[in-house]
Structure 1
Amino acid sequence: MSSSFNWHNPYPTVRMPVFGRNICSTSHPYAAQAGLKMMQQGGNAIDAAIAAAAALMIVEPVSNGLGSDCFAIVWDGHELHGLNASGVSPADWSLDYFATKYGRDAQGFVNRPMRGWDSITVPGAIAGWDTLHQRFGSLPLADLLQPAIEIAERG
C-alpha cells in the first residue's frame, strides 16, 4: 500500500458531502449526496434517510435493493419511535406448518428452512419508507426519489 494513501479522504476524486449542522453518512458518496440534497431543500433527517436509501438501491442493488427491509429509530424531539419493517411471512405460515414440514431440533425448536420459497419473506423496505414518510417526512415523496431517478438515468 502506498504511503500517500489518505485514510480521511479515501476517494480524492469525490467531493466529501458536508453541509452545515446536518450530516448524511452512507456507504456510497452518491447516496450521501442524495440525502444532503434533501436537507439543503429544507427536508429533515427522515427525508434525507429515504432519499439516501433510494439512491443506495440504485448504486448498491445487491446490498440495498427493493427486496430489503427497513428499520428505524426516530427521535421527534419529544418521543422515541421505533419501526420494524422487516419482511412479513405469508398468512398461511405457522409454527405447525414449519414443524410438520421441517421437523424440530434436539432442543425442540422448529427447524428453519435455509433454501427455497419457505426461506424468504415479503420485502418490507418500501412499506417502511412509506410509513416513515407519512409520519415524519416533510418533503413530497417524488422529491425524495428524484436523486435516485437521476442516478439511474445517468448510469
Structure 2
Amino acid sequence: MLLLAASVITIFKNVTGINSPVISETIPPKGIPTAGHVAIGLNFRINSEGISFVLPDCDATAWQDNIFIHLYTNGVRNNSAEDFTNLDFNLNEEVNKTSKEKVGNSCHIYKSFGNFQVKSAAIGQYSTPGGRCCDITWSRFYILDSGLAKK
C-alpha cells in the first residue's frame, strides 16, 4: 500500500508593509492519504516575524505529536542544537490556553519570533516513542530572508 501525503504551499507578500514574504501551507491530518489539494487540515503561515496556526474546529486530536519550530539566525541549517533557537510546543496545550483567538469554528494561534533576526526556519511534528527521540511525522524548511534565496 502506498501512502502519499501532500500539501499546498502559497507564498505571498504581506500587505501590512512587512518586507518578509509570508508562506502559507496546509498539512493534512496524520494518516490521511492525499495526492493533491488539501481541503482541510492544520494551516499555518510563517514569515520572519512569527508563525500563526489555524486549527479547524479548535480540535487538535489529529495533531497529537509535538510541533517543532527551529529558527536559524544565520541562515545555515545544521543539526547542532547550538545553531538554532528551539520553539517546540504541543498543539493540544496551546488550544487550551486563553492566548488563542477563536474565529468562527477555528482557533488561531500565533507565535512571535520576538527580536530574532530569523533567516530560515524548520517546522514539523515529531513523536518520542518509548522515550526515544525522534520520529518525524512531517517537516518543512523555509528560507525567510529573500537575500539568502538569491544566493
Instruction: Tell me if both proteins adopt one fold, taking TM over 0.5 as the criterion.
Output: no
Return the structure number with greater helix share. 1
Task: Provide TM-score, normalisation by structure 2.
Answer: 0.30
Taking CA–CA contacts closer than 8 Å with sequence separation of 6 or more, which of the two structures ends up with the larger relative contact order?
Answer: 1
Return the structure number with greater strand share. 2
Task: Provide TM-score, normalisation by structure 1.
Answer: 0.29
